[in-house]
Amino acid sequence: MNAKKPGSIALALAALALGLAVQARSAEVKRVPFTKEEAARPENPAQAAKMVSVDNLVFPSGVYGTKPDPLDQVEEVIETMHARLAEQGLGIGNMLQHTIFVKDGAVSPGAVLDRFHKTATRLAPSLKTLRSVGTIIRVPQMPGTGAVMLDIVAGKPLAQGADDDGYKRVPFVYGPQEIAETVTGGRFMFTAGLEAMDFRNGTLPKTLDEQVTAVVDKLEQAFKGAGLSLTQMVQHNIYYKVGSDAAAIVEKFHAEIGKREPFHKKYPGVGAMMGVNGMAAPGFLLEMDAVGTTAKPEEIKGAPYTEVPMDVNKTATVAGLSHIVDVVGVEYANDMAYKDGLEGQIDLTVRNLRDFMRAGGLELKDLVKVRLMVKKGAGDAARVRAEFYEALSRLAPELKAHPPAETLIYVEKLDRELVFQVVPVSAK
């Protein structure tokens, strides 16, 4: 046996202690409430926070349009988001990832994208070079009179400079030039707008299988371009066009990732799926966005999904920030039974959320952002929010004073006949 020098042992122990400290450190969380006047406006989720920041990342609540003209709503939601971020010394130019939701049939997605980028770059010319990643999704319904909604993740600058905010951006080689393929900063990477269009050749695969393969090709390219592997994917959202086979999408998606990344099952991250009316182009059958991490795969703390066979974990935690799988209101111990009404499904969803979070060493009080997915026609926004926050406060009274940010999204389809699911982010 070879003896190590005392100095080498001390250095090794110091390095190990530093690594453990980085993993165990708490995230810095700051919650900003709506003002009394803002909370009184029906388009705002009064029970939620206006925004919650976690270290360098900022999670605002979604902004919904109210003006009569849908294209005016595009400007309205950007200007409102810009003003909210300005309260924290930021602006729309600090947007890292965005999702534009458009009420199906109310306005052309192309016209929305054109107005969106013109308005955003007018308010923040830096977005012409320091681009966000983004997705546009068509949905069946909006709260109130809304036709357009904006949901984003923003990032506090990691460097000071007109041409450098400390985030690394990789542009699309072929594809939309108004957005980036990836944005990386701190411990996280964002990618979005991943659909099946072959922009180089101007072709779109016709079948669902072909489109899933093309989307995973783009996903792998995005991660490789950012210097990462698919084992470093922390969270993903798949939006699929209603009429497509959701189960087939899930099976094909994970099979395609498994072909490219043998360790996918060991480091699966978490995910969410929702059936929508469509995306930017009529032929798109699905589109996705994803969050990756610069942390090594073995540094991602995940709680496995044990109730049913799944190719995702319940939680995925890096540097104090946890993404959580989409949670629904089923009774896992009773053959996945569920209640028919909205109230019963919300109550069971929140209970399952608590249990999933505890499996990952978290509590409901640690929630920083929730996306409430509601099947169209299941209930108006005021009722959904009242039921959800009442169920939350029964199990975690602290959230009344320190709530998460929130975005409510109506969708065409959830799993089976479910009418509600939640896609959460937490930090501690």
pLDDT, position 160: 84
Domain that holds residue 81: 56-159
- CATH code of the domain covering residue 67: 3.30.1330.40
Residues 375-406 pLDDT 10s: 999 999 999 999 999 999 999 999 999 999 99
Give yes or no: residues 388 and 409 share one domain: yes
Give yes or no: residues 213 and 327 share one domain: no
Q: Which of 143, 159, 175 is the last residue of a domain?
A: 159
pLDDT, position 416: 87
Q: Which of 278, 296, 318 is the last residue of a domain?
A: 318
pLDDT, position 162: 66
The answer to whether residue 291 sits within a structural domain is yes
Give yes or no: residues 191 and 81 share one domain: no
Give yes or no: residues 229 and 272 share one domain: yes
Give yes or no: residues 329 and 241 share one domain: no
Give yes or no: residues 272 and 237 share one domain: yes
Give yes or no: residues 324 and 267 share one domain: no
The answer to whether residue 16 sits within a structural domain is no
pLDDT, position 26: 82
The answer to whether residue 371 sits within a structural domain is yes
The answer to whether residue 26 sits within a structural domain is no
Give yes or no: residues 210 and 292 share one domain: yes
**pTM summary value:** 0.93
Q: Which of 269, 289, 318 is the last residue of a domain?
A: 318
Give yes or no: residues 325 and 307 share one domain: no
The answer to whether residue 336 sits within a structural domain is yes
pLDDT, position 8: 46
Domain count, the chain: 3
Residues 174-192 pLDDT 10s: 999 999 999 999 999 999 9
3-state SS string over the chain? Answer: CCCCCHHHHHHHHHHHHHHHHHHHCCCCEEEEECCHHHHCCCCCCCCCEEEEEECCEEEECCEECCCCCHHHHHHHHHHHHHHHHHCCCCCHHHEEEEEEEEECCCCCHHHHHHHHHHHHHHHCHHHHCCCCEEEEEEECCCCCCCCEEEEEEEECCCCCCCCCCCCEEEECCCCCCCCEEEEEECCEEEEEEECCCECCCCECCCCHHHHHHHHHHHHHHHHHHCCCCHHHEEEEEEEEEECECHHHHHHHHHHHHHHHCCCCCCCCCEEEEEEECECCCCCCCEEEEEEEECCCHHHCEEEECCCCCCCCEEEEEECCEEEECCEECCEHHHCCECCCCHHHHHHHHHHHHHHHHHHCCCCHHHEEEEEEEEECCCCCHHHHHHHHHHHHHHHCHHHHCCCCEEEEEEECECCCCCCEEEEEEEEC
Low-confidence residues of the chain: pLDDT under 70:
1-25, 162
The answer to whether residue 78 sits within a structural domain is yes
Give yes or no: residues 275 and 285 share one domain: yes
Give yes or no: residues 285 and 427 share one domain: no
The answer to whether residue 29 sits within a structural domain is no
